[in-house]
């Protein structure tokens, strides 16, 4: 099966969904174990590559881009409902 998520940097804990995923779909990225989407995730949105604790950094591009507002499970959609911007930290 061809990859349907993109991991931009090896330290990222989120990937970018290349084509929309439905709950239960298998998400595949080069060099990572496949994971199951836990909810519908629109294309170009983030998917958690690992469990992320409440208050933990969301890492994309190898940089902190946000902070989780609650625990996020591997395979879950990562978006405004479960994160807050990390821009204020700069």
Cα atoms in the Cβ-side hemisphere of radius 13 Å centred on 77: 16
Question: For residue 39, what pLDDT is reported?
Answer: 95
Indicate the SS3 state at residue 55: coil
Indicate the SS3 state at residue 89: helix
Q: What is the CATH number of domain 5-89?
A: 2.30.130.110
Question: For residue 42, what pLDDT is reported?
Answer: 98
Question: For residue 80, what pLDDT is reported?
Answer: 87
Supply the pTM of this predicted model: 0.92
Give the pLDDT of the chain (90 residues) as one tens digit per residue: 899 999 999 999 999 999 999 999 999 999 999 999 999 999 999 999 999 999 999 999 999 999 999 999 999 999 988 988 865 554
Residue 11 near residue 62, CB atoms below 8 Å: yes
The C-alpha atoms of residue 86 and residue 6 are separated, in whole angstroms, by 21
> Which of 32, 46, 43 shows the shortest CA–CA distance to 75?
46
The C-alpha atoms of residue 15 and residue 27 are separated, in whole angstroms, by 10
């Amino acid at each position: 099966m061809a990859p349907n998520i993109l991991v931009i940097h090896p330290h990222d804990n989120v990937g970018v969904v290349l084509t929309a995923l439905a709950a239960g779909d298998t998400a595949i990225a080069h060099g990572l174990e496949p994971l199951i989407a836990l909810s519908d995730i629109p294309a170009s949105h983030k998917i958690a590559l690992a469990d992320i604790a409440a208050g933990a950094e969301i890492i994309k591009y190898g940089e902190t881009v946000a902070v989780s507002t609650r625990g996020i499970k591997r395979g879950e959609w990562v978006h405004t409902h479960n994160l807050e911007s990390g821009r204020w930290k700069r």
